Amino acid sequence: MNRTALITGAARGIGRAIALQLAKDGYNIVINYNTSKKEAEELASKIKNDYGIKCLALQCDVSDEEAVDKMITTVEEQLTGVDVLINNAAIDLSNLFHLKTAEEFRKTLNVNVVGAFNVAKRVYPYMLKNDYGRIINISSTNGMNTYYPMCIDYDASKAALISLTHDLAMEMGPDIHVNCIAPGFIGTENELDGYDEEFLKSETEKIMVKRYGKPEEVAYLVSFLVSDKADFIDNTIIRIDGGQAGSM
């Protein structure tokens, strides 16, 4: 029986690329989305048609604990349970520091950090029962060494995901492996939208390979980390950033 992978925030960008790659690898796929219904349903249709596996598109705000419980219950009823969890859902409410509000800060942390906690906690009993599980938290170099004051809440949330990874790995081992990926500048539609060419050029110059990454390249790394080939990798933070320099 195929294992099931749940990717949060999977309708677009990195999440979409991960869903497609894991479908190619033979996993049944659960596409979680909050607002991008059209994109999620189109992706689910593509996955079922192209790979002949089971695929669900489920709406859920991961910061809402009751909504998460309902989503995972649906997965358990239709696909038994979640074997692989990719905590990818995130928001970035970029704004000048002096214009930031506590409400924005809390909302970012609620989605990016509390959301990851909510889903991990809900899938944990099934993984524990089966003595198997893989959880990948999608952080960012913004949580490590690349900081922008206009993204202070986002940066804090991505740093918190790294800490969450360590604690979950300690709690869930040895059979459930928890790792974290920290992408740098990845050329998704969200990442590129709204920036002028001068800014994009200056950011690219900070990267040793002199280009921004592709969502598919993050998906390849996820594919490896959840596979049996990575069975000795646990509680690890892996940067995928082309050798990106930190903030100066």
C-alpha dist (Å) from residue 8 to 122, 149, 160, 196: 13, 26, 17, 29
Mean local confidence (pLDDT), 11-17? 97
Please determine, for residue 46, whether its predicted confidence score (pLDDT) is greater than 60: yes
Average pLDDT, the chain: 94
Please determine, for residue 179, whether its predicted confidence score (pLDDT) is greater than 90: yes
Tally of CA atoms within 13 A in the half-sphere of 7 that contains its CB = 29
Q: Which of 33, 51, 124, 154 is catalytic?
A: 154
Residue 194 has a pLDDT of 61
Q: Output 196 or 212, whichever has higher pLDDT.
A: 212
Residue 245 has a pLDDT of 83
Residue 248 has a pLDDT of 42
Residue 1 has a pLDDT of 67
Please determine, for residue 218, whether its predicted confidence score (pLDDT) is greater than 90: yes
205-214 burial: b if 16+ Cβ within 10 Å, else e? ebbeeeebbe
Worst-scoring range by mean pLDDT, 75-79, 122-126, 150-154, 196-200? 196-200
| DSSP one-letter code for 185 | S
Q: Is 154 a catalytic residue?
A: yes
Mean local confidence (pLDDT), 221-230? 98
| DSSP one-letter code for 113 | I
How many angstroms separate the CA atoms of 19 and 21, rounded?
6
* Residue 11 and residue 56 in contact, taking contact as beta carbons nearer than 8 Å: no
- The model carries a pTM of 0.95
- In percent, the amount of the chain with pLDDT more than 90 equals 83
